């Protein structure tokens, strides 16, 4: 019985990340008690082997390790401490794994508040997106008491490919995640700015993607998001609004530290422009549409089918970019018979 309870886990928030995590846990043999404000999503998850809860408190009563994967700090606070909240019904010594991207100061407050209930916090923002949530391959930037890690390790191992242990201080996980979001947000906006200028200057965007991906100008986000632009497919894998929020957290947190972030602030404005133009719910690569709106540059149109695979994309680029030819040049003819270029008038 005790052993069975050790395999029982709660998940609150069944969005694209939370649902992936919850399904992964079911797949790996955990009893997963789950809640989401959307009752139909909970019901659907129950039909896949999960256990539906009527409210967060019911999850808390049935699981002594609880993953909270809602959107932000307000929602985290609500499901833990609001009406029918989980914290009041969790046993002493249980563990909350808080995985929303939140201000580091909130994570510190949350650690203290949960401690008043005798509950451990693992401040554990995640990275990797919905695809890696679904396969149990997330990266987790985690800080918390060593006892909490000891108890929750099987759950963390089930959902993550890599767990960074960042010490015992609640807030450290969220600080590292905040810096990651700063860079991720800037890199996406910069990728959009760069591709837009390239198109304006008359460079084939597929060639540009191919060359830059293999050069010093590359970034993880450039390689990940530019294919959306090339495919003309702005189906949100992560939406513009997420970075309106996350860079907002970065800037607010820095302001509290009286710390200037000129590039981050500018990137944030680009996401706000995309949001103002009505693209807030679209893929974050929609920042490139701001440049289209003001300059009329031609963006690649949506292709008839789904996004091209990496293989097909590379094949397309290879038709244009001739790779280095290592074949030896015939020296005689090269020296003897070369033609001078035609004169051109300037």
Give 41 or 287: the residue with its C-beta nearer to a copy of itself: 287
Q: Smallest distance from the beta carbon of 198 to a copy of itself, in angstroms?
A: 5
To the nearest whole angstrom, how small is the minimum distance from the Cβ of residue 155 to a copy of itself? Answer: 10
Paired sense of beta strands 95-98 and 120-123, if any? parallel
Contact 279, 292 (CB under 8 A): no
Least distance from a copy of itself to the Cβ atom of residue 140, Å: 9
Q: If you ran DSSP here, which 8-state letter would residue 306 be given?
A: S
Report which of 294, 284, 196, 297 is spatially closest to residue 245, judged by C-alpha positions: 284
When the beta carbons of 44 and 223 are compared against a copy of itself, the nearer one is 223
Sort residue 260 into left (φ over 0), alpha (ψ -120 to 50) or beta.
beta
Show contacts with a copy of itself in window 269-328 (CB under 8 A): 269-270, 291, 294-295, 321-326, 328
d(CA 168, CA 338): 71
Q: How far apart are CA 331 and CA 23, in angstroms?
A: 64
Question: For residues 72 and 223, which CB has a smaller minimum distance to a copy of itself in the complex?
Answer: 223
CB of 280 to a copy of itself, least distance (A): 19
Count of residues near a copy of itself by CB under 8 A = 117
In the 8-state DSSP scheme, what is residue 193?
Answer: H
Neighbouring-strand partners of residue 31: 8
Q: Which is nearer to a copy of itself, 41 or 119 (CB)?
A: 119
Q: Cα separation of 91 and 6, whole Å?
A: 13
Residues within window 22-51 making contact with a copy of itself, judged by CB under 8 A: none
Residue 25 C-beta: closest distance to a copy of itself, Å: 16
Q: What is the CA radius of gyration of the chain?
A: 25
Residues in 137-196 at the binding interface with a copy of itself, rule: CB under 8 A: 139, 141, 145, 147-148, 150-151, 153-154, 156-157, 160, 162-166, 172, 175-176, 178-184, 186-187, 189-191, 193-196
CA separation, residue 41 to residues 18, 27, 50 (Å) = 11, 18, 11
177 as an active site residue: the answer is yes
**Residue 252 touching a copy of itself (CB under 8 A):** no
> Which of 83, 305, 319, 344: binder of a copy of itself (CB under 8 A)?
344
Of 44 and 183, CB closest to a copy of itself: 183
Quick one: tokens of 249?
A: 């957290």
Q: Which residues contact 315 (CB under 8 A, 6 or more apart)?
A: none
Choose among 247, 209, 202, 245: nearest CA to 225: 209
Q: How far is the CB of 317 from a copy of itself (least distance, A)?
A: 10
Choose between 41 and 184: whose C-beta lies nearer to a copy of itself: 184
Binding residue for a copy of itself (CB under 8 A) from 215, 301, 305, 306? Answer: 215
Question: Of 162, 177, 255, 302, which residue is the catalytic one?
Answer: 177
Closest CB to a copy of itself among 306 and 322? 322
CB of 250 vs a copy of itself, minimal distance in Å: 8
- Note the residue count of the chain: 346
User: Distance between CA atoms of 274 and 265, rounded to whole angstroms?
Assistant: 15
Among 44, 46, 254, 299, indicate the residue that binds a copy of itself (CB under 8 A).
254
Site string for a copy of itself, 95-134 (x = CB under 8 A): ---------x----x-xxx-xx-xxx------xxx-----
Q: What is the 3-state secondary structure (H, E, C) of 118-160?
A: CCEEEECCEECHHHHHHCCCEEEEEEECHHHHHHHHHHHHHHE
Q: Known catalytic residues? A: 177
């Amino acid at each position: 019985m005790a052993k069975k309870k050790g395999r029982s886990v709660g998940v609150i928030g069944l969005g694209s990340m939370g649902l992936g995590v919850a399904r992964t846990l079911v797949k790996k043999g955990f009893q997963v008690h789950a809640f989401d404000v959307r009752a139909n999503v909970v019901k659907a998850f129950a039909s896949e082997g999960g256990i539906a809860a009527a409210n967060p408190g019911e999850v808390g009563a049935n699981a002594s390790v609880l993953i909270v994967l809602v959107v932000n700090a307000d929602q985290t606070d609500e499901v833990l401490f609001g009406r029918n909240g989980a914290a009041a019904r969790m046993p002493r010594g249980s563990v909350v794994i808080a995985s929303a991207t939140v201000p580091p100061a909130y994570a510190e407050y949350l650690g203290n508040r949960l401690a008043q209930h005798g509950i451990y916090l693992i401040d554990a923002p995640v990275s990797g997106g919905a695809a890696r949530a679904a396969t149990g391959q997330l990266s987790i930037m985690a800080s918390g008491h060593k006892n909490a890690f000891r108890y929750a390790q099987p759950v963390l191992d089930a959902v993550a490919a890599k767990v960074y242990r960042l010490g015992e201080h609640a807030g450290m996980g969220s600080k590292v995640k905040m810096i990651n979001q700063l860079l991720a947000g800037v890199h996406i906006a910069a990728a959009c700015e760069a591709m837009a200028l390239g198109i304006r200057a008359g460079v084939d965007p597929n060639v540009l993607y191919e060359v830059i991906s293999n050069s010093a100008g590359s970034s993880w986000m450039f390689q990940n998001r530019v294919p959306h632009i090339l495919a003309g497919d702005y189906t949100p894998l992560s939406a513009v609004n997420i970075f309106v929020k996350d860079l907002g957290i970065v800037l607010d947190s820095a302001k509290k530290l009286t710390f200037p972030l000129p590039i981050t602030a500018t990137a944030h404005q680009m996401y706000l422009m995309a949001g103002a133009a009505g693209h807030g719910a679209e893929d974050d690569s929609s920042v490139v549409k701001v440049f289209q709106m003001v300059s009329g540059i031609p963006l690649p149109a949506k292709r008839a089918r789904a996004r091209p695979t990496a293989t097909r994309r590379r094949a397309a680029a290879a038709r244009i970019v001739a790779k280095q030819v290592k074949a030896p040049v015939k020296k005689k003819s090269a020296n003897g018979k070369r033609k001078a270029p035609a004169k051109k008038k300037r």
